[in-house]
């Protein structure tokens, strides 16, 4: 992989990781357009590792919140009297992160293999758009929506289980978790913030695993220099994207992205059907 290609992919990752449009789906499409083999082990590993830059951006942006939750969690473990709102929210993040870790590890060969097809990406982009629209419609009918103080373990578990569907490229991790949060009665900002928090364990684990297990493939076909550059670029772009998304969801429905998702999915299906674009 050339450095300019990794920089382009870093921009794509940073822009799309936290938008409900599927960063993995976009990376897969752009990798194909750049002439890279999307089913190559090194390219697959690069796709996971470059997301680590976005996670560093999340940690940096929410550093005060993360420190507060960690401190509350530690205090709550030691003193039952300290088990207040932040302690419960910290446990919600822990519980919500477990399902995708277990499913992602068990299904890692499927995720890195058959699911990397652009047929899957296109279908998932269109299919999950319906869920996003339904989630916003459901939320609009609720008179009261819950903030972070009302997040409970059952909410986190459901959102964590739905997050497993984001292992399918094209679904979108943020699209899945925010939609699940809306169905659970959370307000949109709370659902989005919880989505950010849940991304930290999931994407950190994925990036570290690929970096260790596929290190040889990265060296052989992508190169660690290109991987480092792509990760750095994704960090910078993702940091700016986080601030924009939090402002956006405070006043707009996530279903506004459905039109883009359906349009992109339809274009991909047409290009694949005519043989203009290869699925892998």
Q: Convert the pLDDT of each residue in 13-64 to its tens digit.
A: 998 888 888 888 888 889 888 888 877 778 888 888 888 888 899 899 989 9
Q: Convert the pLDDT of each residue in 154-164 to its tens digit.
A: 888 999 899 99
- Please tell me the chain's helix, strand, coil percentages from 3-state DSSP, rounded to the nearest 5: 80, 0, 20
pTM: 0.85
Q: Which residues are bridge partners to 186 per DSSP? A: 146
Residue 144 pLDDT greater than 70, yes or no? no
Query: What CA–CA distance (Å, rounded) separates 169 from 173?
Result: 9
Helices 3-16 & 51-61, crossing angle to 10 degrees? Answer: 50
């Amino acid at each position: 992989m050339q450095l300019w290609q990794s920089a382009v992919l870093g921009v794509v990752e940073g822009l799309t990781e936290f938008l409900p449009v599927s960063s993995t789906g976009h990376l897969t499409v752009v990798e194909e357009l750049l002439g890279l083999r999307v089913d190559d082990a090194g390219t697959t590993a690069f796709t996971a590792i470059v997301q680590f830059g976005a996670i560093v951006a999340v940690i940096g942006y929410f550093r005060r919140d993360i420190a507060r939750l960690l401190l509350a969690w530690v205090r709550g473990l030691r003193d039952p009297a300290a088990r207040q709102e932040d302690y419960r929210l910290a446990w919600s993040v822990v519980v919500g992160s477990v399902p995708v870790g277990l499913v992602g590890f068990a299904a890692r060969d499927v995720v890195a293999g058959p699911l990397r097809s652009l047929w899957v990406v296109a279908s998932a982009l269109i299919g999950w758009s319906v869920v996003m629209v339904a989630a916003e419609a459901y939320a609009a009918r609720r008179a009261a929506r819950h903030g972070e103080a009302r997040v409970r373990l059952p909410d986190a578990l459901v959102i964590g289980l739905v997050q497993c569907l984001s292992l399918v490229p094209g679904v979108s991790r943020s699209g899945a978790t925010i939609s699940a949060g809306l169905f659970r009665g959370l307000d949109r900002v709370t659902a989005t913030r919880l989505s950010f928090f849940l991304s930290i364990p999931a994407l950190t684990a994925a990036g570290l695993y690929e970096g260790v297990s596929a290190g040889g493939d990265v060296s052989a076909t992508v190169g660690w220099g290109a991987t480092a550059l792509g990760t750095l670029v994704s960090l910078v772009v993702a940091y700016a994207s986080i601030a924009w998304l939090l402002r956006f969801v405070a006043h707009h429905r996530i279903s506004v992205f459905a039109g883009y998702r359906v349009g992109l999915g339809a274009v991909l299906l047409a290009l694949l059907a005519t043989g203009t674009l290869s699925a892998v």
